Every structure is written in C-alpha cells, then in structure tokens.
Amino acid sequence: MNSLSKPRKWEPFFWPILASALLLVLWHYSVVWSGTRVFPSPREVVKGIGELARHHVLWRDIVDSLRRVAAGFGTAVILGVPLGLTLGWYPAANQVVNPVMQALRPISPIAWIPVAIIFFGVGDRAAMFLIFLGAFFPIVLACISGVSNVPSVFRRAGRNFGLTPPQLLAKVLLPAALPQILIGLRIALGIAWLVVVAAEMIAVDSGLGYLVIDSRNSGKRYDLVVAAILMIGVIGLALDLAFRRLEKLRSVRWGFRFES
Amino acid sequence: MSLTQPVPVPAAVTTKLSVEHVGMIFERDGKSTHVLNDINLEVDTGEFVCLLGPSGCGKTTLLNAMAGFLSPTSGEIKVNGEVVRKPDPRRIFVFQERGVFPWLTVEGNIGFGLSKLARAERDERIAHYVKMVGLEGFEKTYPQELSGGMKQRLEVARALAVNPDMLLLDEPFGALDSITRLIMRKELLRIWDAERKTIAFVTHDIDEAVQLADRVVVMSARPATIQQIVNIDIAHPRDISSPRYLELRDGIFRQIGLAHKV
C-alpha cells in the first residue's frame, strides 16, 4: 500500500483494534508464562471492572474525577484565556509578567499539594486547585503566542474597517488566534486529567486516582488497580477525541492540517 | 511626455488626495533608513494612479502612509483637505491575497465592515458585491477553498462593500499567475468604471501600470523621489500592441533605466 492510495473504510478501525488485541494477547501470555501471582491477567481485570460496576463504585469514581476536571479546567479557561489574550495584546505587560510565569510553569502541580491542603483542606477543592494550576499556564501561554502571532495584515485590515480596540480583539485577534488557542486548551485538558489522578491519590477519598490507591491498600487487589488504570486511559482518550472534534469546526479548520 | 489629446475626466475635477513634501525615515537598531524624500503628488477624484518603482523603493511605504498606517517623518498627506492621521473606512487598503480573513466565509468577509447596517441592507450589499466580483455560488465557502484569483476578488469586494471613496491597492495581483493577472486587471477596470473610486495602485510591473492607470508615477530607488509622472492618454479598453501604448511603455522602461531587450 502506498501513501497515496485511499485506505479502505474498515482500515482506520481494523489496524488499531488488531494492535490492541495483540497487546492483550501478549499481556495474557506474559502473566501465564511468568507465573506471577500479583499481576492480574486481562481476564481478571475485566472481571474486576465488572465487580466495580456492580458495586456502583466505578461510576461514582468516574463522575467525581470528571467533575473535578471540569471545575479546575473550567476555571483555568475562564481566567486564563482573557489573561492570555490581554498579555498577547500588550507585549509590554507580558514582559513584566513573563519571568514570574516562566518560573511557576515548570513546577509540577504535585509539588503544590501541601500548599493546596493548607489553603483548601483535604478534599475536593484542593484537588480542583491543583488541576487549575496544571491547566492554567499552558492556556495562558497558548493565548499569548496565539495573539502575538496574528499576522499584521489582519490587524491592519481590522483597523482599516474602523474597529475599536475591543472590537479588534473580538472580531480579528480572537478568531485569528483560535486554532492555536484550541491546541493549548487540548494540551491543558490532557494535563488536567493527568493531575486529577495524582491529586486524588493524596488529597481526597473518591475518584479514579483514589480507586487505584484504595484497591492496593485494602487487600492488594491488583486486578482492581489495573482496572482503574485502564479506565483512566480510556477516559483520557475519549476526552482528547472529543476535544479534537472542535478542531474540525469550519471557522477554525483553516488553522489545522488534516491528512486528506 | 506631452499630452496629445486630453484624457476624459469628470466635469468638475477636484483634488482627492494630496501628498505634500512627504519624507520618511525609519529608525531601526540605531540605523536610520531614508525611505521617502520630498514626495509631492496630487490625485484627482475618480482618478486611477499607479505608483511604479523598483522593489524596495518605498512605494508601499507611501501607500501605507496614505492609508494612515504610518505617519510621515516630514510633510503631510491630505484627503479631501483633511490631514491623514489614522486608518479610515473611507479609504480601504487592499493587500495581496493574504488579507482575507480565513475564519470567515465569502459572505462573512464581504460583510465584515458592514456590522452597523440593518440586516436586510447588509444582505443586499453582500449579494451585490458577490455578484460584481463573480463569486456567486461561493457565498458559504471559506477562503482556503478558493483560488488565488478568487481570494483577490473577494478582498476587492470586501473593500468595495463599505463604499469607500478611495482604494489603495498594494501589488494586489503580484502573487497571481500571469493569465489570472490579466483577467484581474480587466475586472478591476470594469469595477472602477462602474464605481468610479479614486485608486492608488502600487506595482513594479511596467505593463500593468500602463494598462491600468490614468497617470503613472515613476519612483526612483531609495530614498524614493518621484522621477516622472506619465499621463497615459489612451482610452479604455487599451490596445496593448498600439504604437502609442508601446511608446509610453518604452518611455517608462528607459526612464527606469532598463533596456527592453533580454
């Protein structure tokens, strides 16, 4: 098959499914051949997922994790996008704020856990704060670079048609920067999901991260540990795929390359 | 170059644009570049003027100053007697095809400057200019699906839709292939004939200038001065193999210092 020939309809689904199936087979036989008593086989994990679902814990944990991501990520979007647009719009302000932001950005949100607990106590809000921290900086930086990369032709055209500065921001700079902002939001959402699981291992008593730790602590149930890990991966994938659909909206499509 | 016959002009000739002793010096990295030197020019209402000169001579800088994007270091530019201080929808700048907004459809682009109008009037205006530039059937299309020539026509339509008195075109057809370019020149003349806007058109293509303009303003290399202003006293449509056309064109070639043998 050369790269120009059009893939048949079943191919985009078939090959990834085959690869996943092969991986499961490899996993299964690794467990069998090594004779491990600790690490579960795929079949045990599936049984574990069933058990969790029957006891209604799985659903509640998923909802709790998603709720925390929604709150933390949502707050980061609401605060980060306007801040990023403003800083992109006023390079002078950006120069003032940039060193502080570059210093805070590489700190893992996990390092903030003790601080979060002091501020918010052990519980939901501490976890949400950590997610917020993780998502906030990538969003701000994507908005800054999005706005400052808008070609001057677009700005000049906007001014030529008599737009006031707020109109210019809303009708030219925001739509022109939107593809880049969406990429930043997608990366931030991935980080938010990464952080929620980590935060739940320490700061709360529900959610998928808590499920991982709890299953290990209460009786070394590694089938449930791996079941929770699998759910984390699948939901992360689903979030990313859902977000990618936004990139296909017609008003931002021009900013992305799609394999045609 | 002498005028053998008068160019047909509107009954009352009024000055639309006057450039008075304009000089421009750019300061960058401690180096100053002298771009424009004592430019004086008057353009009449409804006139089509081409600014012609070698690449990098400063003709685009002059056009930007006319639009109000740049202010001259010395001298003044006046439109209708008022000094130009900032961009204004009464004079619209047309960029090379990159100027259309990729996040808006053809309709959205043409309607961009019309948000103050009532819905019905706006739709009517959009439909009118879609038709004028021959983009019927592409109203809902995004620019990335249009050809270079169509994008350029879209940008001209977006400019005309706000009913400006002046169009400032910066090498608008420079990125098009030579056949599309010829078609676009014809289209522009047709539109100019219908709307009678005052047009300042920057180009480095001598043939383009002589085909389009009432007057060709020949500029020197940097710091740019006006070398000569050539009246093109040929009625439209112009026969580009007529002796007068060739005479005017060759005169400009000589003026710029190019032999017309390759």
- pLDDT, tens digit, 9 for 90 and up, residues A199-242: 888 778 888 888 888 888 887 888 888 988 988 999 999 999 99
Nearest CA in chain A to B94: A157
Mean pLDDT of B15-44: 87
Q: What are phi and psi of A121, to 5 degrees?
A: 75, 175
Q: Which residues of A touch B86 (CB under 8 A)?
A: 159
Reported as a single tens digit per residue, the pLDDT across B32-45 is 888 888 888 888 88
Residue-wise over B25-37: b if at least 16 C-beta within 10 A, else e?
Answer: eeeeeeeeeebbb
Of B67, B92, B98, the CB nearest to A151: B98
Contact B101 A161 (CB under 8 A): no
Chain-wide mean pLDDT for chain B?
A: 85
Alpha helices in B73-147 (DSSP H): 106-110, 119-132
CATH 3.40.50.300 domain range(s) in chain B: 15-90+165-256
A-contacting residues of B 56-75, CB under 8 Å?
Answer: 67, 69
Q: Which residues of B touch A165 (CB under 8 A)?
A: none
Write down all domains in chain A, each with its CATH number in brackets: 43-248 (1.10.3720.10)
Q: CB-based contacts of A113: which residues, under 8 Å, 6+ apart?
A: A126, A130, A199, A202, A203
How far apart are the C-alpha atoms of B127 and B110, rounded to whole Å?
9
Name which CATH class applies to B15-90+165-256.
alpha beta
**A141 pLDDT tier (thresholds 50, 70, 90):** very high
Nearest CA in chain B to A177: B103
* Residues A172/A150, Cβ–Cβ less than 8 Å: yes
Q: How far is B146 from chain A (nearest CA, A)?
A: 12
Contact A161 B112 (CB under 8 A): yes
| Helices and strands of chain B, counted as H and E runs | 7, 10
Q: For position A18, what pLDDT does the model report?
A: 92
Structure tokens at A192: 């938010």
* Residues A109/A136, Cβ–Cβ less than 8 Å: no
Q: DSSP string spanning B101-122?
A: -TTS-HHHHHTGGGTTS-HHHH
Reported as a single tens digit per residue, the pLDDT across B35-77 is 888 888 888 888 999 999 887 788 888 899 999 999 989 889 9
Q: Is the pLDDT of residue B1 over 60?
A: no
**A78 pLDDT tier (thresholds 50, 70, 90):** very high
Contact A161 B162 (CB under 8 A): yes
Whether A154 and chain B come into contact, CB under 8 Å, resolves to: yes
Q: What are phi and psi of A6, to 5 degrees?
A: -75, 130
Whether A166 and chain B come into contact, CB under 8 Å, resolves to: no
Q: Which residues of A touch B125 (CB under 8 A)?
A: none
**Residue B116 exposure: Cα atoms within 13 Å on the Cβ side:** 8
Contact B69 A156 (CB under 8 A): yes
**A26 pLDDT tier (thresholds 50, 70, 90):** very high
Whether B98 and chain A come into contact, CB under 8 Å, resolves to: yes
Q: Which residue has the higher pLDDT, A193 or B9?
A: A193
Q: How far is B131 from chain A (nearest CA, A)?
A: 22
